[in-house]
């Protein structure tokens, strides 16, 4: 299980092998502070500060920082001795599974469900009117369009609703990317979309629909950021991530990583939101909800993956790491 020891200034004094593997690539080495890695306002940093005056534990803590997101973890923090030292123990949050019987849905989900039910009947009636033609067909089309718009609004009420049940199975990551390519191309026909795939990559295990949603959220954000830009280009890249092996629990083996890159040649990520990129409601779009990247990070984290971001004017690359499962012996 990942363990980190901090001094009174929040500097890392010790981390075990599991922590070093989990935070691989983040320069989480002795002498650096948690704030330097995750940002001064990150939940893990605040939790460590609170531990100096008493033991604390929190579940489902977002593990993210400037340009990366690693999903969520359960964290225990406790003071050690009288010198202000703090010990952090992290347990990566479990993958999403089917909800337990009798689990209560959120109020937002209940509202969305109750709104969708009558809307389905209204839309069906409007479609019948439209097929009959006549002067009412234009009005019927308008009704259908408005029903679709309200449905989209209910999706925004609880965008994580589709994550309740994860069905893990082996699939080819290129199939997911090709679905995303088709969806983005249909809404942004002037956008150039290219691919650089490594055909030798093995299958991954996960919920194919959820992975598609995560990739789509990132790709749509990129396409919207480049709207109206001449020669706008989006590139999908897949490759094996050499030298990186990540352990996601105390008993799991460290696994090699497959990398998916979604790269655009847009204006880059605004510095004002770079440190909060994966937080909910972080957006610069007037009509945006700021939930797309938050949901994408949650999906990837629940698949034992992580997201890294490199951004500068003219090139932004979202790098999604997903574990490659070891082949089972026959």
Return the domain boundaries, the chain.
3-92, 107-157, 163-323
pLDDT in tens, 75-115: 888 888 777 889 999 887 654 433 333 444 455 555 665 56
pLDDT in the model for residue 261: 97
Q: With pLDDT > 70 as the criterion, what percentage of the chain qualifies?
A: 78
Q: Quote the CA–CA distance of 164 and 145 in Å, as a whole number.
A: 28
Provide the pLDDT for residue 116.
65
Phi-psi region of 74 (alpha: psi -120 to 50; beta: other; left: phi over 0): beta
Establish whether domains 3-92 and 163-323 are of one fold.
Answer: no
Q: What is the arithmetic mean of pLDDT over 304-309?
A: 88
Of residues 170 and 329, more confidence is placed in: 170
Question: Which residues are CB-neighbours of 287 under 8 A, at least 6 positions away?
Answer: none
- According to CATH, the topology of domain 3-92 is Beta-Lactamase (3.30.450)
pLDDT tens string 42-80:
888 888 888 877 788 887 787 888 878 887 788 888 888
What pLDDT is stored for residue 100 in this prediction?
37
Instruction: State residue 143's pLDDT score.
Output: 86
Distance CA 216, CA 222 (A): 10
pLDDT at 10: 87
* pLDDT tens-digit series, residues 236-294: 999 987 656 555 544 455 678 899 999 999 999 888 777 778 776 666 554 555 678 88
- Count Cβ atoms within 10 A of the Cβ of residue 163 and give its class: 0-12 exposed, 13-18 middle, 19 or more buried: middle
Pick 120 or 100 by higher pLDDT.
Answer: 120
For residue 218, pLDDT beyond 90: yes
Measure the CA–CA gap between 215 and 186, rounded to whole angstroms.
16
What CATH class does 163-323 carry? alpha beta
Say which residue, 140 or 328, is predicted with more confidence.
140
Inform me whether the pLDDT recorded for 123 exceeds 70: yes
Q: What is the pLDDT of residue 281?
A: 63
Over the chain, what is the mean pLDDT?
79
d(CA 228, CA 188): 10
Task: Specify the pLDDT at position 190.
Answer: 92
- pLDDT, residue 105, reads 44
Mean pLDDT (whole number) for 12-41: 84
Q: Picking from 220-224, 284-288, 316-320, which range would have the lowest pLDDT averaged per residue? A: 284-288
């Amino acid at each position: 299980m990942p363990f980190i020891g901090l001094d009174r200034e929040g500097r890392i004094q010790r981390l075990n092998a599991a922590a070093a593997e989990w935070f691989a690539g983040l320069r989480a080495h002795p002498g650096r502070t948690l704030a330097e890695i995750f940002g001064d306002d990150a939940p893990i940093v605040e939790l460590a500060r609170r531990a100096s005056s008493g033991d604390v534990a929190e579940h489902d803590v977002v593990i993210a920082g400037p340009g990366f997101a690693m999903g969520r973890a359960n964290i225990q923090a406790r003071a050690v001795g009288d010198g202000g030292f703090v010990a952090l123990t992290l347990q990566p949050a479990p993958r999403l599974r089917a909800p337990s019987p009798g689990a209560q849905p959120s109020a937002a989900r209940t509202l969305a469900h109750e709104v969708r039910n009558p809307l389905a009947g209204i839309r069906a009636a409007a479609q019948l009117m439209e097929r009959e033609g006549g002067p009412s067909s234009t009005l019927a089309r308008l009704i259908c369009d408005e029903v679709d718009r309200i449905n989209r609004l209910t999706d925004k009420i609880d965008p994580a609703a589709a994550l309740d049940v994860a069905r893990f199975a082996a699939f080819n990551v290129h199939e997911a990317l090709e679905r995303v390519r088709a969806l983005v191309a249909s809404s942004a026909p002037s956008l150039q979309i290219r691919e650089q795939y490594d055909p030798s990559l093995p299958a991954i295990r996960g919920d194919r629909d959820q992975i598609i949603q995560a990739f789509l959220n990132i790709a749509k954000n990129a396409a919207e950021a480049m709207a109206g830009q001449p020669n706008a280009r989006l590139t999908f890249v897949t490759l094996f991530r050499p030298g990186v092996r990540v352990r996601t629990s105390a008993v799991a083996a460290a696994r090699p990583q497959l990398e998916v890159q979604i790269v655009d040649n847009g204006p880059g990520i605004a510095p004002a939101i770079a440190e909060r990129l994966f937080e909910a409601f972080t957006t610069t779009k007037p009509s945006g909800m700021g939930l797309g990247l938050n949901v994408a990070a949650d999906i990837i984290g629940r698949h034992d993956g992580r997201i890294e971001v490199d951004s500068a004017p003219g090139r932004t690359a979202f790098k999604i790491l997903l574990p490659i499962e070891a082949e089972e012996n026959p």
